Amino acid sequence: MDSGSPRQVIITLACPSTTGIVAAVSTCLSERGWNIIESAQFVDRDRQRFFMRLSCETEAGEGNAGGLRQAFEPIAARFAMEWNVWNPAEKPRLLIMVSRFGHCLNDLLYRYSIGALPVEIVGIASNHRDFEAFTAGHGLPFHYLPVTRDTKAEQEGRLLELVEAERVDLVVLARYMQVWSDDLCRRLAGRAINIHHSFLPSFKGAKPYHQAHRRGVKLIGATAHYVTPDLDEGPIIEQDLSRVSHAMSAEDYTAIGRDIESVVLARAVKLHVERRVFINGDCTVVFG
């Protein structure tokens, strides 16, 4: 949260589950003139871990947000919280990466253009030039980052420089068809989201929808998840599916799959930037 004094804040916290957490948090907010307008909480009983997201507003004067953070610190220490106070007026800065399939990119840019995605897109990066003119048409910078097996480390270094220079909060892999190194995955842990079809591990490689069509698959889905060194196995944020039938062609499967991928990725990005996703070991807690 910046040094200003927002009249609305989002508070996120996670800590060991115990009694008194909600009472302590709500009392702290009430005593300092903050009204809770949205609240969600969850206890993971297997891990004995508590998660909470609060949206709050105030009519108090300048400096109230800074005072809230200061007042919250003893509570956070008491319950061993991982926590933060966010200003929802500050839009997270996104870098979108794409290769040669543009359906997810097009969907994200449309939502961005109509204000449906509360972010600031700082640019598009790609290992191909296919969408350079398309990006320019949206008035966004295009960063060409070609890569080969021999130049992979150099290209990833350039990507990290771009992330730092543009103060990127989230990297979105909108069908970016390159596998990141373990080091890059770790350095952007919790700050990179990927999308893929949900056939894995059954139909790997080229044309997965055509493979699914040949096998008579009846459900097509997509998964959006955080990027980790375990390829396509990061904590899942969002998923969806659609029923298909023998009467459809492989091209129909592909079209339906691309639609689902676009929607699922957009949902995942929105959930993340609204601070609704908590990474919980190998999975997530998502407050919709």
How close are the terminal C-alpha atoms of the chain, in Å? Answer: 22
Coil, helix or strand for 150?
Answer: coil
Q: How far apart are CA 59 and CA 39, in angstroms?
A: 19
Q: What are phi and psi of 36, to 5 degrees?
A: -80, 120
What's the rounded Cα separation, in Å, for the pair 223 and 2? 33
Q: How many angstroms separate the most distant Cα atoms in the chain?
A: 65
Residue 38's region, left for phi above 0, alpha for psi from -120 to 50, else beta, is beta
| Cα distance between residue 287 and residue 52, in whole Å | 9
- Contact between 49 and 15 under an 8 Å Cβ cutoff? The reply is yes
To the query of whether residue 46 is one of the catalytic residues in this protein, the response is no
3-class DSSP assignment, residue 220? strand
DSSP-assigned states of every residue in 114-129? TT-S--EEEEEEESSS
CA distance linking residue 186 with residue 204, whole number of Å: 24
Strands 192-197 and 219-226: antiparallel
- DSSP-assigned letter for residue 224: E
Q: Which two tokens stand for residue 135?
A: 């990006």
Which helix (H) or strand (E) element contains residue 84?
strand 82-86
For residue 57, give the DSSP letter.
E
* Annotated active-site residue in 232, 240, 252, 259: 232
Q: Which two tokens stand for residue 143?
A: 């960063």
- Residues involved in catalysis: 232
